[in-house]
Amino acid sequence: MDEPRKGTSCCGVSARVVDINAAPLQPSACSQILAAWRFLVFVIAPIALIFLLFIGDDPAYRCAYLILLMAVFWITEVVPIAVTSLLPVFLCPMLGILTAKDTSSTYMNYPRSVRHAALLPCFMFCSRSWPPFYEVNMTLGSS
């Protein structure tokens, strides 16, 4: 079975049938280099910035370490941005910048969560009706 054959589902939607015994695809050299680069940035960035933790006992230096580490992770996207945005939840208490209660209260504030949940449908509607976003949505396959 060299080529995948086409099938039809019960709703009339065409589907691809793929041979599960076929050899898996090998990653390209470019994707392997990108994975190695991401790993190196993930390991080297915290080590390169660690001097900020030993300059003094002031929490400002530890906070600078956290901010610069997040900036490097955000710019290079070595980890997903959502994971990077949650780093302070774990690192602020570990580095002694804030207590766990203070840190989590800024992230999990109930009125803020309700406000964001209430505004989500508005953003979804606006993104579909505003012309620049309408073209983007059309390319993603939504109507």
5 lies in some domain: no
Query: What total number of domains does the chain contain?
Result: 2
2 lies in some domain: no
Kindly state whether residues 85 and 49 are assigned to the same domain. Answer: yes
Phi, psi values for residue 14, rounded to 5°: -75, 145
59 lies in some domain: yes
Kindly state whether residues 33 and 94 are assigned to the same domain. Answer: yes
Kindly state whether residues 39 and 94 are assigned to the same domain. Answer: yes
Kindly state whether residues 94 and 113 are assigned to the same domain. Answer: no
Kindly state whether residues 50 and 78 are assigned to the same domain. Answer: yes
Kindly state whether residues 90 and 49 are assigned to the same domain. Answer: yes
15 lies in some domain: no
In whole angstroms, what is the distance from residue 124 CA to residue 119 CA? Answer: 9
Kindly state whether residues 63 and 120 are assigned to the same domain. Answer: no
Q: Estimate the crossing angle of helix 131-139 against helix 110-129, to 10 degrees.
A: 80
Range of the domain at 75: 29-98
52 lies in some domain: yes
**pLDDT band of 62, cuts 50, 70, 90:** very high
Kindly state whether residues 92 and 113 are assigned to the same domain. Answer: no
pLDDT, tens digit (0-9, with 9 covering 90-100), for 80-120: 888 888 899 889 999 999 998 888 887 776 666 666 666 66
pLDDT of amino acid 82: 83
If DSSP states are collapsed to H, E and C, what string results for the chain?
Answer: CCCCEEEECCCCCEEEECCCCCCCCCCCHHHHHHHHHHHHHHHHHHHHCCHHHHCCCCHHHHHHHHHHHHHHHHHHCCCCHHHHHCHHHHHHHHHCCCCHHHHHHHHCCHHHHHHHHHHHHHHHHHHHHCHHHHHHHHHCCCC
21 lies in some domain: no
Q: How far is CA 47 from CA 65, 81, 131, in A?
A: 11, 20, 45
Residue 13 has pLDDT above 90, yes or no: no
Kindly state whether residues 44 and 70 are assigned to the same domain. Answer: yes
pLDDT of amino acid 63: 92
